[in-house]
Structure formats: structure tokens, C-alpha cells
Amino acid sequence: MFCLLLAAITLALYNPVARHPFVNYDDDKYVTENPHIRDGLTWSTFTWALTSTEQANWHPLTWISHALDVSLFRMNPAGHHFASVVLHVVNVILLFLILWRGTRRLGESFFVAALFAAHPLNVESVAWIAERKNVLCTFFFLLAIVAYGWYAQKPGWKRYLAVFVLFLAGLTSKPMVITLPFVLLLLDYWPLARTSPWSRLIVEKIPLFALSAASAVITMVAQQSGGAIRTIAEVSFAARMKAVPYAYAMYLWKAIWPAKLAPLYPHPGDSLPLWKSALSLLLLIAITAIVLRFRAKRYLLVGWLWFLGTLVPVIGLVSIGEALIADRYAYIPLIGIFAAITFAALDAIRAQHLSPAVPASAACLVLAALGWTAHRQIGYWQTNEGLWAHALAVTQNNFVAEDNLGGALILDNREEEAHPHFEAAARINPDDPMSHTNLATYMMTHGHMQEAVRLYQRTIELTADPGMLARTYANMGMAQRGLGQNFEAHNSFEKALQLDPRQFIAWMGLGLLAQSAGSYGEAIRDLTTAIDLQPTATAYLQLGNAYEQTNQRAQALSAYEEALKIDPDLVDAQQALAALKQHP
């Protein structure tokens, strides 16, 4: 009954995401524009997933889950969202069962699971399709804990193997769960209360620690190759050390007062005031002292160390990306805080011999407040524009939000409204490649080809991302072609295809160059390849022109008709089709 109630609460809360679109931040890289994933779950996708380090991570099970979604739901975002929501529901139930079986305290276990289900900080992990890896790795993390409880009852190699395999599955979903062996030691202390000597308990987990070490090495290699790790020159060691206690304090604050939540909070770097870091450190020391003072309440120590320990991989000692903190990073760590506060509060209330109606009423009020706040937060994910406009409203100097709001406006064909946001992003971070490439495209569409080439070249200097480099080289080739620099344009298109053989703009550019040189057979081949990758009205129009030049009138007629199916208002295609029909 309690499991069904938790499932009903969670499903009701997250029901709106079924109507949400893919967002223009990583969903394209993970699903909508990823050619391997768009093919669905095939053998080639499966083998690619096992070896790919795209997105600066090795997480084959995450890729496989996305490919399975495409096989089941194609590109309907509702199905992809539904899969993430179901995983969150299962995680909520698993957390409840773990606590209940371990402590036999039903009310506390239910409330912790309900907090996990409804807390607004968890919205990002569930409502963002690209964060499938977070709910998926947590699923295996919690299953590994279930298996460990089974093993602790009667140790044996078969039961231990179940823990090992589930841990491996978690790591191959997202390396965030690398701290599981540490968590299992905490669970040995409470609630399992295992009586074996600590040395034996530690030795028992050596295979799991070895798996953690292997995952750490693979992750570092993947992130370095993907350019995700920020150097000391970008974020100094002093800035990182200042940021660590501040980040811990911010997670605690947002757990208690989940307001002004955003998909990304900019890293303050050296601008973080020393007093904020010092005050945060004092807060952490004070909480640690209180926990140690009341260490007889084992759940306090376990919950606090769970929070501190599971955040270590993402706390900023190794600086990844542009963020200092992220809501999604709190998905597992805050379980410790929820458990510590809940069990301590219920013990305190019982010590005062208060009526059971008091904690029940308080719990309902807390869950209602969190649920309402989560509902509002889910609403911001309903549109790309709404999501990034909200992010700009609640953060400062957020060039990523500026870039993505501009990108959302571009998707709505509001180019002039988007342009100021790209300019703002470039002002905030002059080394931001995304704003530079978007400004270059704006210049190109407005006929300023020389300035566009300069900005594209600057983008190439600023990024190591293969996908962005491929798009930039392809677009720069188009600008160079507009300047009559056909040799340079050809080189740019070739570089784009070396980075990404499926870069359709580069294929179209090569087709246009071949067409202008009178090599119509080559033009037809390249333009057909571009259309196979991404059909566009312009590509069909140019293909029709190439067919006409080789007297393939039936093929030309078909190409013009396809162009007008995509864009009925394309005047050049209308005129070419009319002329072709007039002179058969």
C-alpha cells in the first residue's frame, strides 16, 4: 500500500512532463541529433555505446537506454520523459524499502522517500531527458544496496557478485555512483549494525574499491579527451579550494529553501568572496561537531557522512564544465540529509510524548510545500524559452543561459531577438565558443561574410568539441564560398567531414562547389548525401538544378516538388518547377 501511495504521489507530480519537449541543452547531443541514438537500439548502436566517450563520459548503459527509447517511442519526447519518470518512481520505492527493511521504522522511511519523490532539487534529474544517466545510475545504486543487505544477512560469493554486477551497471550509467563502497561501510554502521571488525569490512569491499578506481581512471580519460576538465589556468587551485565549502553550504541551503533553481549556476571562479567560503566552512565544522556530539544517534553520523562523501566526485576539486553546483548532483547526496533530519525529528517528537497527529500534520505541510514548489519548477521546463528566461532571472552572469535562450529564440525563427543574447554571452565570457559561432552565423545571414569568417575562426580556437568544430568548419566554408574563396571553402568542408562524416552542411557545401565548377555528377552525389542526412528545401532546390544541367528532367521535377513540400513558399523552387513544366 505504501509503495503504491508513493508511486501515485510521484506520478501525479511529474505527469506534466509528458507534454514537455526536448530541451535545447544536451538533449540534442544525447538524442535528437545523435546519429547513433536516432537509429534506435541496433547492434551497431550497442557496440558504439560500449566504446564511445562522447559527452566526455563513458556510460554505455545510458546510451543504450536512450537508444531503446527511440526504438519504442521514436522522437516523441513524451515517451522519453515517461521512461525517466518511471525510473524516478522506482527509485523512490527502492529507497523506502531499503530504509524500512533496515530500520523497521515505517513512518520515517515513508517520509524520507516522499521527500526524495517531491523535492524540487530533483526536478532537473527527472524532467531533463539528457539527465537520464542520473536516475538510471541511482536505480542501480539503490539495487546494489538492496543486494548488499541480502549479502549481509548471509555472506557468500554469489550474493557478493550481485552487488558487484549492480555496481558495475551503475558506473556504466554514470560514474557519480563511484562512492558506493564508502556508502556500504556507512550502512554497515547504521542501520545494518554489522559486528565484524572494521578491518574485515574494509577488506571485504576491496573488489568494489578496485572497480571505483578503474571507473575513476576511465572517467578522467574520457573527460580530458572531451575537453570537459577545466585547467588551473581557467579555475585556479585557490578558487577551487574556496568553492568547495561554499558549494556544500549551497546544497544544504537549497535542500532547506529550494528557491531560484536553474539548470546551471555559473562558477564564480576567483570572484567568490573569501568571507562566503569562510562562513560556509564554519557551518560545515559546526554541523560536524553537533553530529559527533550526538553520535549515539547513528543515523546522524551516517546521514551527514553520506551527504559529504557522495558529493566528493562533483564538489569542484576537479573542475568540470562551467558550473560550481548543479541540482542534479544532489539527487543521491541529499538522501543522507533527508534521513538524518527525519529520524532525528521523529525521535525528538517522541521524547516529548506529543500526539502522533503533530508529526503527521507537520509532514503533510512540508510535503505540500515541497510538492507545490516542485510543480512550479517542473513548469519552467515546459518550453526552452521559459526555462532559460527563468535561469537568467534567478542567476547572474550566466552566459550559458544567454546562449541557450538565444538558441531557443532561433528555433522559433526569432533571430533578431536572439542576437542580443549571444552578444551578452560573449561579453560575459569572451572565450565562449557558442556565442561566437552564433554571432558568426548572424553575420553570415546578414551578408557580412568577412566578419563571419573571423568569428568562426575564433570559435575554432576556443573549442575542442568535435561536434561544434564540425559545424563551425561547415558554416565557415559556406561563408568562404560566399566570399569566392572556393579553395578555402573546400578545405573547411573537408575538415568538417573528417570530424563528422554526417555533417550535412559540409556535404551540401561540397555539392554547391562542384556545381559551380560544372562537375554536376559530383554535385548530385554530394547533394544527395546531404539530403539523406537532413532533407532541406535548399538542398532539394540545388539538387534539382544539378539534375536539370544533366538533362535529367524527371529527377529535377521530383527534387523541386520535394523542396516545395518542405517549404511551399520557396520562390526559386516555384519558378524552377513552373519553367520545367512549361518547357517539357
Cβ–Cβ under 8 Å, residues 270 and 236: yes
In a domain, 257, yes or no: yes
**The total number of structural domains that make up the chain:** 2
| Residue 241: per-residue pLDDT | 85
Burial class (CB in 10 A: 0-12, 13-18, 19+), 521: exposed
Cβ–Cβ under 8 Å, residues 120 and 261: yes
**Cα gap 130→414, rounded to integer Å:** 25
Cβ–Cβ under 8 Å, residues 79 and 73: yes
Last residue within a domain, chosen from 350, 382, 414: 382
DSSP strands (E only) in 210-331: none
Cβ–Cβ under 8 Å, residues 6 and 96: yes
**Cα gap 522→322, rounded to integer Å:** 43
Can you give the CATH number for the domain in which 534 is found? 1.25.40.10
**Cα gap 374→251, rounded to integer Å:** 16
Cβ–Cβ under 8 Å, residues 263 and 387: yes
In a domain, 478, yes or no: no
Cβ–Cβ under 8 Å, residues 462 and 480: no
3-state secondary structure 199-235: HHHHHHCHHHHHHHHHHHHHHHHHHHHCCCECCCCCC
> To the nearest 10°, the Cα dihedral for 215, 218, 221, 224?
-50
**Cα gap 216→212, rounded to integer Å:** 6
| Residue 352: per-residue pLDDT | 85
Query: Which residues on neighbouring strands pair with residue 323, listed in sequence order?
Result: 266
- According to DSSP, residue 313 is labeled G
In a domain, 487, yes or no: no
Q: What does the longest C-alpha to C-alpha distance in the chain come to?
A: 96
In a domain, 468, yes or no: no
Residue 281: which residues within 8 A CB-CB, separation 6 or more?
A: 245
* Rounded alpha-carbon distances, angstroms, from residue 425 to 325, 399, 434, 435, 436: 20, 4, 9, 6, 9
> To the nearest 10°, the Cα dihedral for 332, 337, 338, 343?
140
**Do residues 192 and 54 both lie within one domain?**
yes
| Residue 388: per-residue pLDDT | 97
Last residue within a domain, chosen from 382, 398, 433: 382
In a domain, 326, yes or no: yes
Tens of pLDDT, residue by residue, the chain (584 residues): 899 999 999 999 999 999 999 999 999 999 998 989 999 999 999 999 999 988 889 999 999 999 999 999 999 999 999 999 999 999 999 999 999 999 999 999 999 999 999 999 999 999 999 999 999 999 999 999 999 999 999 999 999 999 999 999 999 999 999 999 999 999 999 999 998 889 999 999 999 999 999 999 998 888 877 666 555 556 677 778 888 999 999 999 999 999 999 999 988 877 889 999 999 999 999 999 999 999 999 999 999 999 999 999 998 766 566 677 899 999 999 999 999 999 999 999 888 877 888 888 999 999 999 999 999 999 999 999 999 999 999 999 999 999 999 999 998 999 999 999 999 999 999 999 999 999 999 999 999 999 999 999 999 999 888 889 999 999 999 999 999 999 999 999 999 999 999 899 999 999 999 999 999 999 999 999 999 998 999 999 999 899 988 888 889 889 988 989 998 888 888 888 888 877 66
**Do residues 308 and 168 both lie within one domain?**
yes
Phi, psi of 133 (to 5 degrees): -60, -30
| Residue 164: per-residue pLDDT | 98
Q: What is the number of residues in the chain?
A: 584
Last residue within a domain, chosen from 332, 358, 382: 382
Domain that holds residue 83: 2-382
**Cα gap 308→422, rounded to integer Å:** 37
**Do residues 197 and 332 both lie within one domain?**
yes
Residue 568: which residues within 8 A CB-CB, separation 6 or more?
A: none
| Residue 575: per-residue pLDDT | 87
In a domain, 449, yes or no: no
Query: Three-state SS for 266?
Result: strand
Q: In b/e form, how buried is each residue of 373-390, taking b as 16+ CB within 10 angstroms?
A: bbbebbbbbeebbebbbb
In a domain, 260, yes or no: yes
In a domain, 254, yes or no: yes
